[in-house]
Amino acid sequence: MPEPFRLGIAGLGTVGTGVVKIIQEHGALLAARAGRAIEIVAVSARNPLKERGIDLSRYEWVDDAQALAGRTDIDAVVELIGGSEGLARALVEGSLQAGKHVITANKALLAHHGYALAQCAEENSVCLSYEAAAAGGIPIIKALREGFAGNNIQAVYGILNGTCNYILTAMRESGRNFSEVLLEAQERGYAESDPSFDVDGVDAAHKLCLLTSLSFGVKPDFNSLKVKGIRRIDAMDITFAQELGYRIKLLGIARRLNGKIMQVLEPCLVPVDSPLGVIEDVYNAVYVEGDFVSTQLLTGRGAGEGPTGSAVISDIVDLARGQRIPAFGVVTTALKDAQWKPLGETVARFYIRLSVFDRAGVIADISAILRDMNISIESLIQRGRDPGQPVPIVLTTHESPQGAVMEACDLFSRLEAVVDEPCLIRIEDFK
């Protein structure tokens, strides 16, 4: 039997605890599958006294996580600290430079510094592995990097944040507004006390950035990604969407368009019976279009001790077997600078909700703006009068350039009868 594959683990939160549990409970199974034992040598976290529900006494405790990078009795460092800078970045860089493989779940670090870290891994003949960085237990990194290697990927769509998907599902099922459901999500442990990373779309955008790079062979470029979260989604938008045959999902989209790549993370209307329309609660899903596989849907829990810990273990087993794959599927010299499609030039159908005082001529004014912008209305919903109070007008458009629709919304907001900023949501009609 070969020598054990030896690990140093930095970070013992939810995911780190899950990794230790799996290794402790399935040691023999992992050894059989990897062809060698997988052994934890040392661990590090901020609080050595915290009760984690696992026995850590058999491992050496290291107060300074960066010390793991320099140890000669460790083959790979598992970084589960989080954050794009600070200790996590220093540990990953130091470990790669010291000739150690790195396994990480840190999507923020990779979205901002993935290209440089991948270069560092290649220069030191080690691997940078990150199956757990996107969609938790769904093996989407392996699928894009290996399973779909024979395909030109045309598009990737993803529901990539379970917190947001839970909130949108609960709003639809209960009719409650965003703030009420967010509070419930926090009480149930689905949302952090500061939920901005999730509900403002940053978490999902980090993941989309990695999927874009893997799908299209381009350098990760988080700063070029357009991001909009779910804070402005109103309960009435969810109700109107349902009436129109849609559900609202926070959707990451990466798509080839005439030689350029569209990359956006925003709420979208998707058909109720579509592959992503049926994904509810805390579940994640990734929908892939390839030229030879046609369409594929991968779905499962996108976070948590078990699913994300399982994804980390999959990378550990691969490395213990001796598998060596470039971080983004190709060597870094083959990664290109992407040509991004300006969002205003993309063509789609749109949902627009206006809050207006119901006065004579309002519809005519709205129609005139749409006419002048060459935007055609597909459907229109107007509710009955409520004297002195604003009422909603909802319309959907035929396919139109997003820039023209955004300009029309700006003109709507200047109308005297319109109150509040118009709500504009892309419609994605894939099946």
Among all residues, which ones are annotated catalytic?
Answer: 207
CA distance 71 to 397: 61
CA distance 413 to 411: 5
| Opening angle at CA 63, ends 62 and 66, nearest 5 | 80
| Opening angle at CA 385, ends 380 and 389, nearest 5 | 105
- The interaxial angle of helices 27-34 and 14-25, nearest 10 deg, is 80
Helix (H, G, I), strand (E, B) or coil at 260: strand
Cβ atoms of residues 55 and 40 within 8 Å: no
Q: How far is CA 330 from each of CA 51, 103, 110, rounded to the nearest angstrom?
A: 42, 18, 16
CA distance 165 to 300: 12
Number of separate helices (H) and strands (E) present in the chain: 13, 17
Residues pairing with 250 in the sheet: 267
Mention every residue, 6+ apart, whose C-beta is less than 8 A from residue 11: 44, 45, 65, 78, 79, 80, 81, 82
| Opening angle at CA 88, ends 85 and 94, nearest 5 | 105
Q: How far is CA 90 from each of CA 48, 77, 87, 116, rounded to the nearest angstrom?
A: 21, 12, 5, 13
Task: Annotate 115-173 with DSSP letters as a single string.
Answer: HHHHHHHHHTT--EE-GGGSSTTS-HHHIIIIITTTS-EEEEEEE--HHHHHHHHHHHH
Is beta strand 347-356 parallel, antiparallel or unpaired with respect to 400-401? antiparallel
List phi, psi (to 5°) of 349.
Answer: -90, 155
